Amino acid sequence: MPFAHPPFVPLSPAAAHPPPAIAKLAASLSRPGARLGADQNPKLFHSLHQEHSSVLSLAADGACIYTGSQDGQISVWDKTTFKLTAVLRGHTGSVLALEYAPDKHWLFSASGDSTIRVWNTRNHAPLYLLHPHGETDSGDLYSLVWCSALQTLYFGCQNTSLQWFPFSATALERASFGSGAPISSDGATIHSGTSTPTSIARKAHKFFDSYPRHTHRPADLNARNPTCATCLPAALSASLQSAASASALTDTPSSPASSSGPSASPPLAGCVRGERLSAPMAVLQVPPESVVFSAHYGYVYCIALVPASNREGSDDVFFEEDVPGRGAQLVTGSGDSTVKLWQLPDGAGLDAPPRLLHTFDCGAGAVLALTVRGDTVFAGCQDGLVKVWDLETRTLVRTLLVVENVDILSMSMLYSDLYVCSANGEIQRWSASFDLVGSWRAHEGIILSSIITRLPPPDETQEVDQGLEKFTLVTGGNDDMIKVWEITPPVASRHAMSELSGFGGSTDISKSINDILVYALTKFVGIPSVSNSPAHKEDCRQAAIWLRKCFTQLGAEASLLPTGQTTNPLVLATFHGTRTAPSRPRVLFYGHYDVIAARPAGWTSDPFTLTGRNGYLYGRGATDNKGPVMAVACAAADLLARRALAVDLVLLVEGEEEAGSGGFVEAVKRHKDAIGPIDSILVSNSTWIAEDTPCITYGLRGVVHCNISSDGPDLHSGVDGGAAREPMLDMVKLLGTLTDETNRIAIPDFYDQVRPLTEDERQLYKVLSSVTQTPASLLAARWREPSLTVHNIEVSGPRNSTVIPSKAKAHISVRIVPDQDLATIAAALQAHLRREFARTQSRNRLNVTIDQTADWWLGNLDDPWFHALESAVKDEWGVDPLRIREGGSIPSVPYLEKEFSCHALHLPLGQSSDQAHLHDERISLSNLRRGKRVVERFLSNVASTPAPSPI
């Protein structure tokens, strides 16, 4: 079917006015914020009454608010006095969309009469009349957006097309003048010009003006299906028709001085007016090459520009400052339940049509409203849903259930706060973390339009501090009211988009890279990207977006790679070395931007505010792993700025490391071509073993995580104790079989493949023992010997002393070392547990599962790139680095070695007292800066070092 209009039905009184309990997100999975309450809702600053006509559209400039009405007029309200100062007449159909172009001081209005009019906002004179391609064949014109960078107007049509008109000198030369006296730029009458038909002359359209097929009647204007009568999405048609029939449409009173045209006569039947209209200055026509036919399979209800940098209340920056070559983009929403992303032309191809990049299927009925912030698109749909899409990864971030079964008709954003206007007259305010932080009844009818705008200062000569600006949310409804709400910008978000401009519009290398390093780390730590907490899911995504933008500003080509619907994206960035070289080594740096939770208790300062004290930077992630990530990126940026980067540095930063690296392996395999060939892998995700001596890590243990459960019936300890096999006792006995009396692991053949201790290792442990004052045997036990740990035992039931728990569950882990085989050890562990449980002859049930595994890793100490790293450390610190191993595991390191067939190197930057994962996590400022210089030296060293042989 060529069109997909939603099966709209009129809103019943119950749907339009749900009980307060229903309107408060009873079915939503998003949590209400702490600010939710009547005292936190915006104050009504002013109310304006638009006589006998619904407020379908809104726009504002510095001095006025413009309201488009159902009767075809545009009312102009002064922002200071809130008086009606002018009425703009000319349209013969409902004014469905308004758009202000601040660079031109123009107001665009789109109508159900299939025309767009352009007005001069300085004197409210008409300038242009724009006909879409095919004129009335396009039907109602529902949506408008102005792109100042291209000087082009884009609009969405009822006939499913996307059209545009560039207001270039060439296009304007083809304009013809109207039949009446055209108006000059200062509003005076010009007594010359040629005769051109106005928009009053309108032929019947065979589709939009047709009767139902069973009537066998030809199309005619009186059918009104649905060009003027349904000047909104069909869901509102019945409501508006009843409102229109209840009160006749009349002109807004205005004096000749305040009106832009002559007094209007009473309207004729329908929306077509019988008055004589002032002809605009020039008549324009969209050429056929400026049309995307069937852009959607439904009416194009809404349209928005990406980024929304020219919209009041936006903190977006233009992409040309952020991602070279990306330029502006367009998103469109339609009755076919999709949002489409279009790339707008830039550079030499300014005449090229928008190019479709992606189609997002909302699956929730018609998309009736769109708004944008950064790389995030909010799509307001039928039935009270807002779909939140990430443009970078093309994934659905969140679905907000605003009010169940009530359509969302308009949305506005003030920085990170989203204002959602529903057909039941209610407005909700949502925070950047998708918390509902405000909800109030704004209109007695349907809210049809909304905008964010600033109010001028009371004294016109007074300059207002940017932080003291007064923002308002202006809403319009079918109750003929315009409401002006005084709203407060959100408290400056630690990861606000505008804070990215702190690097400068483009990378400002005139600043010290060391200053950029600390500045960037301050912003990075300020994002609470806790990957194992659902409450911080959006923070993790914002951390990825911020990091991608940061890498871009430092000189890399960066993008986000999706890892799955429930996992955080990867950040991929490439710093390209000197391109004149015939071939360049390629180094992959692996890190992570997620952190573990940080309870304020025990912290001297806010864990998500980077705080400097006594030469250390304190904050969650400072040493694990945000500090090292920024040090490596700034090292590449410094070399790049000095034209000294002779290698390609590829950064692969994940957001699930602290939660098991979910989706990492699959995403790397899927995007391996984008990552490219790799010669060596660099990691910095551990600490030194002492305070003052630098180290290089060359080994990690592997790990097998296992869950064990024993199940039986709930029993009473006084009645059944001693007569029944208790799951808890079974569990205790079973765990006791895992080790012997000397604490060695008792799994058969467990130690057969453990690599023996060599004499060179023995001497190394003696040296390390003298440095750390730790016995060599203890160091060896931590680093190169396997171990088994019982992490916890849990029981079911009320934990009452009279109840025998029906279920006991334990979590254990086994650390493995070279040359133990990961799969063999995992299978042997499971077999041992099942065998020992069978010996107990218990009637209870045993369940054993392997949840996570990671292989061991051992570096190649003879690798030339390992020596290059050792030389870099020695040249910076003046001493030979210690060669150490770690008892922990990093699953991604051995995997990346196997995937890219190259060796990995591990450079720890932090000290042993850095408190990773603990309270007061920190990193030494000196270590951070000198670690950056070590990376610079290493990258310079490997540029002249032969590429290592593949594994």
Residues assigned a catalytic role = 594, 657
The kind and range of the H/E element at 28 are none
Nearest to 111 by CA among 246, 11, 232: 232
Phi, psi of 826, deg, nearest 5:
-60, -45
The kind and range of the H/E element at 47 are strand 43-49
Q: Cα(521)–Cα(626) distance, rounded to whole angstroms?
A: 7
* CA distances to 295, 299, 340, 364 from 6, in Å: 17, 10, 18, 10
In three-state form (DSSP H/G/I as H, E/B as E, the rest C), the secondary structure along 265-326 is: CCCCCCCCCCCCCCCCCEEEECCHHHEECCCCCCCEEEEEEECCCCCCCCCCCCHHHCCCCC
The kind and range of the H/E element at 659 are none
Q: Cα(334)–Cα(296) distance, rounded to whole angstroms?
A: 7
To the nearest 10 degrees (0 to 180), the angle between helices 759-772 and 776-783 is 110
* CA distances to 657, 665, 666, 682, 847 from 662, in Å: 8, 8, 9, 21, 23
All residues at 6 or more sequence positions from 270 whose CB lies less than 8 Å from its CB, including other chains: 222, 224, 228, 229
Phi, psi of 721, deg, nearest 5:
-60, 130
Query: Alpha helix (H) ranges present in 352-456?
Result: none
User: What are the beta bridge partners of residue 575?
Assistant: 649
Q: Cα(69)–Cα(74) distance, rounded to whole angstroms?
A: 6
Q: Cα(633)–Cα(505) distance, rounded to whole angstroms?
A: 18
The kind and range of the H/E element at 483 are strand 481-487
Phi, psi of 435, deg, nearest 5:
-100, 140
User: What are the beta bridge partners of residue 331?
Assistant: 304, 341
Amino acid at 297: Y
Do the strands 162-166 and 481-487 form a parallel or antiparallel pair, or are they unpaired?
unpaired
